[in-house]
C-alpha cells in the first residue's frame, strides 16, 4: 500500500511518518508484522519528501504491505511534535473471510474486487477463491450441474 500526505514543504525524510492502527488502538509493527499495544520505532514508516512546484507543500510517500483484514486507520504524524496531519479509516488489507450482511460497504467492495481480480479455480463440485499471492484459499462455493440447472452456492 502507498502511504502519502501533502503537508509543509521542507520537513525532509525523517519528520513525517505513517502509522497503522486497528479499532482497538493497537499499532502495526512493520518489521515484526504484528499488532503491538505500545508504539515503537518499527511502527513508524517514514515518508520520503517529493518536492514539486508548490511553494508551500510537498507530497510525502512510502510503500509498505498492510495486514490482511481491516479496515485499518492510517495516520500521518510529525515525529518531532506528534501532531497528526491527517488520517484515513478505510485502509484494507487482503480478505480473510467473506463479509457478512452487517459488514461495512468497504469490506464488501474489497471482497468484490478480490473475487474479480484474484485467482479462482473450479472443479465440477467446488469453486475456490485465493489470496493475492494465489497460494491460500480464503473462500469457496459448492457447484453442481444436473445437465439442466447449474447451481453455485453462497461463497463462504
The model's pLDDT over 56-85, given as tens digits with 9 standing for 90+, comes to: 999 999 999 999 888 899 999 999 999 999
Task: Give residue 32's pLDDT band: very low, low, confident or very high (50, 70, 90).
Answer: very high
Looking at the fold, whether 87 and 19 belong to one and the same domain comes out as yes
Q: Which domain holds residue 145?
A: 105-152
- At residue 97, the pLDDT reads 80
Q: Which three cell numbers stand for residue 107?
A: 469490506
Domain-embedded: residue 96: no
- Residue of 26, 17, 28, 121 lying closest to 78 (CA atoms): 17
Q: How confident is the model at residue 136 (pLDDT cuts 50, 70, 90)?
A: confident
Looking at the fold, whether 28 and 63 belong to one and the same domain comes out as yes
Record the pTM.
0.75
Binning pLDDT at 50, 70 and 90, where does residue 133 land? Answer: confident
Percentage above 70 pLDDT, the chain: 100
Q: Which residues contact 2 (CB under 8 A, 6 or more apart)?
A: 61, 62, 63
Classify residue 98: in a domain, yes or no: no
Q: Are residues 63 and 86 in the same domain?
A: yes
Q: What is the mean pLDDT of residues 97-126?
A: 89
How high is the pLDDT of residue 99? 87
pLDDT of residue 140: 92
Q: Note whether 78 and 110 are same-domain residues.
A: no
Instruction: Output the pLDDT for position 39.
Output: 97
Q: Please check whether residue 64 lies inside any domain of the structure.
A: yes
Same domain, 110 and 81: no
Is the residue at 120 inside a domain? yes
**Is the predicted pLDDT of residue 96 greater than 80, yes or no?**
no
Report yes or no on 97 lying in a domain: no
Share of the chain above pLDDT 90, in %: 71
Name the average pLDDT for the chain. Answer: 93
Last residue of a domain, one of 42, 64, 91: 91
Q: Are 60 and 9 in contact (CB under 8 A)?
A: no
Cis bond before residue 26 (omega within 30° of 0): no
- Indicate the number of domains in the chain: 2
Inside any domain, residue 69 = yes
The answer to whether position 52 is within a domain reads yes
**Do 79 and 16 sit in the same domain of this protein?**
yes
Amino acid at each position: 500500500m502507498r502511504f502519502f500526505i501533502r503537508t509543509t514543504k521542507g520537513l525532509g525524510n525523517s519528520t513525517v511518518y505513517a502509522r497503522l492502527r486497528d479499532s482497538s488502538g493497537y499499532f502495526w509493527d512493520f518489521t515484526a508484522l504484528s499488532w503491538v499495544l505500545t508504539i515503537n520505532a518499527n511502527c513508524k514508516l517514514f515518508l520520503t519528501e517529493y518536492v514539486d512546484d508548490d511553494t508551500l507543500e510537498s507530497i510525502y510517500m512510502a510503500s509498505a504491505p498492510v495486514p490482511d483484514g481491516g479496515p485499518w486507520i492510517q495516520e500521518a504524524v510529525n515525529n518531532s511534535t506528534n501532531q497528526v496531519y491527517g488520517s484515513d479509516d478505510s485502509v484494507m488489507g487482503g480478505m480473510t473471510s467473506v463479509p457478512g450482511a452487517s459488514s461495512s460497504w468497504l469490506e464488501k467492495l474489497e471482497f468484490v474486487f478480490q473475487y474479480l481480480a484474484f485467482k479462482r479455480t473450479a472443479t465440477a463440485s467446488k469453486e475456490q477463491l485465493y489470496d493475492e499471492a494465489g497460494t491460500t484459499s480464503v473462500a469457496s462455493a459448492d457447484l453442481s450441474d444436473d445437465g439442466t440447472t447449474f447451481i453455485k452456492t453462497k461463497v463462504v
